[in-house]
Amino acid sequence: MNADITPVPHELAEGESDCEHILTHLYEYLDSEMTEADEHRMRAHVAHCSPCLAELSVEELVKKLVKRSCAEQAPEELRLRIRAQILATG
Ligand SMILES: [Zn+2]
């Protein structure tokens, strides 16, 4: 894999490229492996972008639940359920 230096096309709207940024760095954020600047950018973005906030919250919750249950990976069903809950309340 050598795809981590793919440039973001400039015709994308600012919001879209930020959404991409979130999804690309989601796991770095969850593992606290982000630079401070990236983390700041991510927090600023999810503050006004509910789909990304939902995505982030889902993974955060799934990670916690998986840790507690000592499972290797959360079932996709659990992810979907948490996401539906977040989107319903947000
Ligand atoms: Zn977004």
Residue 87 has pLDDT above 80, yes or no: yes
- Report pLDDT digits (tens) over 23-57: 888 989 989 999 999 899 899 999 999 889 999 99
> Which residues are CB-neighbours of 89 under 8 A, at least 6 positions away?
none
Ligand 1 is an ion; residues with CB less than 5 A from it: 19, 49, 52
**Confidence at 17, pLDDT banded by 50, 70, 90:** confident
Q: How far is the CA of 9 from the centre of ligand 1 (A)?
A: 16
Q: Give CA–CA dist 65/51, Å, rounded.
A: 21
**Confidence at 10, pLDDT banded by 50, 70, 90:** very low
Q: Give CA–CA dist 28/24, Å, rounded.
A: 9
Q: How far is the CA of 17 from the centre of ligand 1 (A)?
A: 8
What are the tokens at 39? Answer: 């983390």
- Report pLDDT digits (tens) over 62-74: 888 888 877 677 7
Q: Give CA–CA dist 31/69, Å, rounded.
A: 18
Q: Give CA–CA dist 49/55, Å, rounded.
A: 10
Determine the pLDDT at residue 47.
Answer: 92
With vertex at residue 48, the alpha carbon angle to CA 46 and CA 50, rounded to the nearest 5 degrees, is 65
